[in-house]
Every structure is written in C-alpha cells, then in structure tokens.
C-alpha cells in the first residue's frame, strides 16, 4: 500500500551463510556479510561482525522460519540494511483527529498509535487506514518503537 522508496515490507525468502569480505583501506578487520533475499526479489546485506546486525540476522531467520514479514530500510548506495522493524497485522477500529494528525485504534492493541501530519506521505497513510477501517480489511502496520508513530501501512 504505502511505504518509503527504500523501505521493503516482505517475507524473507532466504538468508545466506556469512561470507568474508576483505577489509578495505581504513577498516581494521574484514567484514562478514550475509545477504537477505525477500520473496519479491529485493535483497540487502548485513555485516554480522557488528552486534546489531548479527542480532538482526537472527531475527530475520526467525521471521523466515515462522513466515512473518519484515520491514527493512536499505542504504541506497551500499544495499546495507539500516533499519529493521516488525509490521503487525491489525484491523483498524477508529481514527480520531488530533491537533497534529490522528490517534489510531488498532484491534486488539492496547497501545496508542499515532499518524502525524509531519510524516512524509501523511495523506496516503491516512487514506490507507481509512480504507482498511471502512472495509474492515486487515493491514500490516509498521510503527516506531518509541512513540508508536505509524510509518508504513500495507494490505495484510
């Protein structure tokens, strides 16, 4: 439905075994890369010598095994995965106007979810949520971890 140009929301097709890449000038050690390929054909890499990337590789393996989608952002120059979030399938119960956008009630979440006017593609996201509410169709919602700000909405 709606996402950023470098964002992927898709199921994981495969994750390669780590392969070593020689250190380039200025790097202290070689990198160990894994390639994550998504069902739709996109792919990104993780340097598992970095703790965060190693944890993300395990999370992506788990998502692959359980058939759940991932939300990832890629660095457009390198193809490196720079962000990993977990979209959740919800039914939209209500959208209530607030001074800076909407508070969104998602079934069965007890958290408060927000769609802010400052969000890029605010109108597209709002329309996708309204359509899902009106037709009672489930959507995959991705939001920030700290403020529950909705950043992506897809048919689910």
Preceding amide of 36 cis, omega within 30: no
**CATH 2.40.50.340 correct for 7-85:** yes
- Joined together, the tokens standing for residue 75 give 């660095």
Percent of residues, the chain, with pLDDT higher than 70 = 93
**CATH 3.40.50.2000 correct for 88-155:** no
pLDDT band at residue 44, thresholds of 50, 70 and 90? very high
Instruction: Determine contact, residues 120/4, Cβ cutoff 8 Å.
Output: yes
pLDDT band at residue 120, thresholds of 50, 70 and 90? confident
- Do the domains 7-85 and 88-155 sit in the same CATH topology, yes or no? yes
* Mean pLDDT, the chain, whole residue set: 91
Beta-carbon contacts of 75 under 8 Å, excluding residues fewer than 6 positions away, are 6, 82
Express each pLDDT in 71-83 by its tens digit.
999 999 889 999 9
d(CA 125, CA 152): 7
What average pLDDT score do residues 3-10 get?
73
What average pLDDT score do residues 88-99 get?
96
Spans of all domains in the chain: 7-85, 88-155
pLDDT band at residue 2, thresholds of 50, 70 and 90? very low
Top pLDDT among 28 and 124 is at 124
Residues facing residue 35 across a β-bridge: 45
The pLDDT assigned to 109 comes to: 86
């Amino acid at each position: 439905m709606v996402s950023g140009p470098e964002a992927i929301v898709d199921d994981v097709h495969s994750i390669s075994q780590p392969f070593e890449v020689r250190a380039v000038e200025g790097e202290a050690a070689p990198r160990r890369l894994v390639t994550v390929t998504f069902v739709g054909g996109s792919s990104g890499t993780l340097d598992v010598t970095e703790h965060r990337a190693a944890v993300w590789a395990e999370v992506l393996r788990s998502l692959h095994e359980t058939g759940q989608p991932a939300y990832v952002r890629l660095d457009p120059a390198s193809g490196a995965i720079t962000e990993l979030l977990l979209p959740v399938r919800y039914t939209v119960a209500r959208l209530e106007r607030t001074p800076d956008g909407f508070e969104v009630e998602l079934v069965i979440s007890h958290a408060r979810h927000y769609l802010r006017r400052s969000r890029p593609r605010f109108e597209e996201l709002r329309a996708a949520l309204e359509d899902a509410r009106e037709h009672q169709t489930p959507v995959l919602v991705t939001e920030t971890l700290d403020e529950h700000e909705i950043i992506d909405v897809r048919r689910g």
